[in-house]
């Protein structure tokens, strides 16, 4: 996963720094050249302020050109590191429930992190809630079945199996491709409009009728599912924003 430093720029107005190719058009480098014209590099100025400059003996032995090469190399690595970091931040933005588009201002880094945290907390609590609901529903059903139990091998499921069965749809609904873009999907296909906080089609009354959990829909990984559980969760973007965009 070696990202090209020149391929990512999280800010459109930022200077295009294709590291080696366009580095010499950078304003910083222009200032650097100005310093060189006066016979002093920026690092040399700084090192004058700090006495020896903290250079190792090996670095002290290097010629001026070698030091510059070294400095450029280090700068390039640092730039690439920050580009990778920004790329990861963009990836995070892509999966956040936040309106995206050319007319929408990009979330700041701090906002992205805060929103991500709150979103994870919200998903966690949703998952717990759904587990509880589904468990209750299946528990009630198994009790009613046992009251009028007919001994058929296929209908007699142990409680542990019922628990697992009850978890499957809820897990599917949370990680399914209709509710959240998967990791592999995110960079290439935009998340659904409802997920991003754009006006979404009216939801079927999710969980209003718990019996729909036993619907006959089969869930296949990666395949769209028509069951009501797999419809997008209400993208309560406003509430998320109230949590994260306090300032």
Partner DNA sequence: TAGGCCATCTGGTCCT
Partner DNA sequence: AGGACCAGATGGCCTA
Q: Is 241 exposed, middle or buried (0-12, 13-18, 19+ CB in 10 A)?
A: middle
Contact positions with DNA (CB under 7 A) in 98-127: 105-106, 108-111
Is 36 among the residues that bind DNA (CB under 7 A)? no
Among 233, 238, 151, 226, which Cα is nearest to 200's?
233
Is 10 among the residues that bind DNA (CB under 7 A)? yes
From the list 3, 20, 28, 124, which residue makes contact with DNA (rule: CB under 7 A)? 28
- Looking at the Cβ atoms of 27 and 218, the one nearer to DNA is 27
- Judged by CB under 7 A, the stretch of 12-20, 129-137, 200-208, 236-244 that binds DNA is 12-20
- Looking at the Cβ atoms of 92 and 157, the one nearer to DNA is 92
Is 14 among the residues that bind DNA (CB under 7 A)? yes
Q: Give the x-and-dash track for 63-102 against DNA (CB under 7 A).
A: --------x-xxxxxxx-xxx--x----------------
Q: Over the chain, what HEC string results?
A: CCCCHHHCCCCCCCCCCCCCCCHHHCHHHHHHHHHHHCCCCHHHHHHHHCCCCCCCHHHHHCCHHHHHHHHHHHHHHHHHHHHHHHHHHHHHHHCCCCCCCCCCCCCCHHHHHHHHHHHHHHHHHHHHHHHHHHHHHHHHHHHHHHHCCCCCCCCCCCHHHHHHHHHHHHHHHHHCCCCCCCCCCCCCCCCCHHHHCCCCCCCCCCCCCHHHHHCCCCCCCCCCCCCHHHCCCCCCHHHHHHHHCCC
Find the shortest distance in angstroms from Cβ 196 to DNA. 19
Is 33 among the residues that bind DNA (CB under 7 A)? no
- Looking at the Cβ atoms of 83 and 172, the one nearer to DNA is 83
Q: Could you tell me if 96 and 107 are in contact, meaning their C-beta atoms sit under 8 angstroms apart?
A: yes
Is 7 among the residues that bind DNA (CB under 7 A)? no
- Judged by CB under 7 A, the stretch of 8-16, 116-124, 151-159, 173-181 that binds DNA is 8-16
From the list 56, 146, 155, 205, which residue makes contact with DNA (rule: CB under 7 A)? 56
Find the shortest distance in angstroms from Cβ 183 to DNA. 19
- Looking at the Cβ atoms of 31 and 120, the one nearer to DNA is 31
Q: Could you list the residues that contact DNA (CB under 7 A)?
A: 9-11, 13-15, 17, 23, 26-29, 31-32, 41-43, 46-47, 50, 53-56, 58, 71, 73-79, 81-83, 86, 105-106, 108-111
């Amino acid at each position: 996963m070696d990202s090209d430093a020149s391929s990512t720029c999280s800010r459109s107005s930022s200077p295009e720094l294709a590291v080696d190719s366009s580095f010499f058009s950078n304003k910083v480098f222009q200032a650097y050249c100005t310093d060189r014209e006066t016979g002093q590099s920026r690092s040399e100025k700084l090192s004058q302020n700090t006495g020896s400059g903290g250079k190792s003996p090996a670095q002290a032995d290097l010629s001026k050109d070698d030091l510059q090469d070294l400095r450029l190399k280090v700068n390039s690595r640092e730039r690439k590191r920050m580009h990778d970091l920004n790329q990861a931040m963009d990836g995070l933005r892509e999966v956040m429930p936040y309106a995206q588009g050319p007319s929408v201002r990009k979330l700041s880094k701090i906002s992205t992190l805060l929103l991500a945290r709150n979103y994870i907390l919200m998903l966690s609590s949703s998952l717990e809630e759904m587990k509880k609901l589904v468990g209750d529903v299946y528990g009630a059903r198994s009790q009613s079945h046992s009251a009028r139990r007919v001994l058929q091998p296929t209908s007699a499921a142990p409680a542990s199996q019922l628990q697992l069965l009850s978890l499957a749809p809820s897990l599917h609904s949370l990680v399914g491709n209709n509710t959240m873009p998967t990791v592999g999907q995110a960079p290439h296909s935009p998340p659904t409009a409802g997920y991003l906080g754009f006006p979404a089609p009216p939801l079927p009354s999710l969980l209003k009728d718990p019996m729909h959990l036993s619907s006959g829909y089969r869930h296949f990984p990666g395949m769209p599912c028509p069951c009501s559980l797999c419809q997008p969760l209400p993208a309560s973007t406003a509430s998320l924003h109230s949590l994260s965009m306090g300032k």
